[in-house]
């Protein structure tokens, strides 16, 4: 069975007709024209990603039918260790920008283009509506093993493993964010309702997203997250107290949230707070180092977020909080 598609036009590829990218030796095409198109922004801008060793279809993952009625899904073809970058997918901002065969292939099968767009696109406050053609095949699971981020300046979604994913395991993300500690309960509940209506994903009473003890921990972590920037931070003692809360939040986030995404923000908070006072200044090193590492994973070295983090790492005194 053919499980590889041209990375540009998405037509199925016969094993003996595959043209491989000479750089990453992974990305596959049906023709030189498709390879040239994919190299620039017309396609997925592979020129930017070629050296980043992102996983590719048929080598690291494949799209196939699920056995539990969810339609197609994305499955790993090998062990994908935690923090592996599973896929990079160009973001389409408007229906008109998406090549017709791409959007036509999506769910709902008999739906209009608008219905397909509505079901498969993601909305983000900072970047609006976006559709990733391959990302749209990733199904929802409340115990998701991957998470995705839209990198606005690179116009790309990046899908990251948040724990080790075994060979043959389905790769899943969360369509609703019950454990997003950065938002209030009211907002999380409203978002969940909309998202359940959009994707008709209905969880059992026993699902982790309905666990009351966990919900309380998430709420407490959210309160801590909101409280940190409001705490007094003038004296050394006050700053040390805030940093204790930062460390507490990092520990909680590691266990209850989507991992790396939530941690990334809090590492940055730790950095901004530690540099406020000369006595706590040495502590900044650990936070900015962790922040830089997390930016490399969730945003990639190519992003402006990573480049800015690198500047702060190399020269913390350029940050406005520096004592
Ligand atoms: C973005 S698409 C995901 C890919 C889709 N399975 C396909 O074949 O193209 C979202 C749709 O997949 C199905 N789906 C995703 N996760 C599901 C889940 N956990 N349980 C049931 N259906 C799910 C629902 O029909 C949902 O509206």
The pLDDT tens digits along the chain (323 residues) read 567 999 999 999 988 889 999 999 999 999 999 999 999 988 899 999 999 989 999 999 999 999 999 999 999 999 999 999 999 999 999 999 999 999 999 999 999 999 999 999 988 877 789 999 999 999 999 999 999 999 999 999 999 999 999 999 999 999 988 999 999 999 999 988 998 999 999 899 999 999 999 999 999 999 999 999 999 999 999 999 999 999 999 999 999 998 898 899 999 999 999 999 999 999 999 999 999 999 999 999 999 999 999 999 999 999 999 99
Task: Write a three-state SS string for 58-105.
Answer: CCCEEEEECCCCCCEEEEECCCECCCCEEEEEECECCHHHCCHHHHHC
Which of 149, 173, 197 is where one domain is finished?
173
Spatial distance between the Cα atoms of 147 and 274, rounded to a whole number of angstroms? 29
In a domain, 72, yes or no: yes
**pLDDT value at position 17?**
83
Kindly list the distances between the CA atom of residue 313 and the CA atoms of 271, 307, 308, in Å, as whole numbers in the listed order.
10, 10, 9
Same domain, 42 and 84: no
Which of 9, 29, 53 is where one domain is finished?
53
| Tally of domains in the chain | 3
In a domain, 184, yes or no: no
Same domain, 64 and 45: no
Same domain, 119 and 14: no
Kindly list the distances between the CA atom of residue 289 and the CA atoms of 95, 150, 247, 249, 258, in Å, as whole numbers in the listed order.
40, 23, 15, 18, 20
Neighbours of 152 (CB within 10 A): 17
Same domain, 74 and 152: yes
Same domain, 127 and 215: no
User: Residue 107 Cα, ligand 1 centroid: separation in angstroms?
Assistant: 8
Same domain, 227 and 163: no
Same domain, 64 and 155: yes
Could you report the predicted ipTM of this complex, rounded to two decimals? 0.99
> What SS3 state is found at 150?
strand
Of 197, 188, 200, the closest CA to residue 256 belongs to 188
> At 268, which helix (H) or strand (E)?
helix 260-274
Q: Helix 236-256 to helix 260-274 angle, to the nearest 10 degrees?
A: 170
Of 66, 71, 194, 204, the one to substitute when testing ligand 1's pocket (max ligand atoms within 8 A of C-beta) is 71
User: Residue 125 Cα, ligand 1 centroid: separation in angstroms?
Assistant: 23
CB 19, CB 31: distance < 8 Å: yes
CATH number at residue 130: 2.170.270.10
**pLDDT value at position 41?**
86
Same domain, 158 and 219: no
By the 10 Å C-beta count (0-12 exposed, 13-18 middle, 19+ buried), 145 is classed as buried
Nearest alpha carbon, ligand 1 atom 14? 70
Same domain, 144 and 94: yes
> Would you give the DSSP letter of residue 83?
T
Which of 146, 173, 200 is where one domain is finished?
173
175 Cα nearest atom in ligand 1? 16
Spatial distance between the Cα atoms of 230 and 241, rounded to a whole number of angstroms? 12
In the chain the first and final C-alpha atoms are separated, in Å, by 62
Residue range of the domain that includes 11: 1-53
Q: Which residue has the tokens 């998430």?
A: 218
In a domain, 130, yes or no: yes
> Would you give the DSSP letter of residue 12?
B
Of 105, 117, 139, the one to substitute when testing ligand 1's pocket (max ligand atoms within 8 A of C-beta) is 139
Same domain, 149 and 243: no
Same domain, 78 and 142: yes
Spatial distance between the Cα atoms of 71 and 80, rounded to a whole number of angstroms? 23
Kindly list the distances between the CA atom of residue 258 and the CA atoms of 6, 31, 149, 238, in Å, as whole numbers in the listed order.
32, 39, 12, 29
């Amino acid at each position: 069975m053919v499980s590889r598609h041209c990375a540009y036009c998405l037509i199925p590829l016969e094993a003996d007709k595959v043209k491989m990218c000479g750089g990453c030796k992974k990305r596959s095409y049906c023709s030189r024209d498709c390879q040239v198109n994919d190299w620039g922004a017309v396609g997925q801008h592979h020129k930017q990603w070629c050296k980043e060793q992102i996983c590719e279809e048929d080598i690291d993952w494949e799209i196939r039918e699920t056995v539990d009625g969810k339609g197609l899904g994305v499955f790993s073809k090998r062990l994908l260790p935690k923090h592996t970058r599973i896929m990079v997918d160009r973001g389409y901002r408007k229906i008109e920008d998406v090549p017709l065969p791409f959007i036509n292939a999506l769910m709902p099968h008999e739906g209009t283009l608008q219905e397909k767009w509505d079901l498969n696109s993601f909305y983000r406050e900072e970047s609006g509506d976006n559709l990733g053609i391959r990302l749209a095949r990733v199904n929802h699971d409340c115990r998701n093993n991957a998470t995705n981020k839209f990198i606005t300046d690179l116009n790309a979604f990046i899908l990251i493993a948040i724990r080790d994913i075994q060979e043959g395991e389905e790769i899943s993300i969360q369509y609703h964010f019950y454990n997003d500690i950065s938002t209030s309960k009211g907002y999380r509940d409203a978002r969940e309702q909309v998202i359940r209506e959009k994707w008709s994903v209905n969880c059992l009473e026993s699902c982790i997203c309905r666990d009351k003890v966990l919900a309380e921990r998430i709420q407490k972590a959210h309160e801590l997250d909101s409280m940190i920037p409001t705490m007094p931070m003038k004296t050394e003692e006050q700053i040390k107290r805030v940093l204790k809360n930062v460390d507490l939040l990092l520990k909680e986030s590691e266990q209850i949230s989507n991992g790396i995404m939530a941690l990334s923000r809090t590492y940055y908070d730790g950095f901004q707070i530690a540099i406020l006072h000369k006595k706590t200044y040495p502590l900044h090193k650990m936070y900015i180092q962790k922040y830089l590492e997390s930016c490399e994973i969730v945003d990639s070295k190519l992003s402006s977020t990573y480049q800015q983090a690198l500047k702060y790492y190399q020269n913390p005194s350029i940050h406005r909080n520096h004592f």
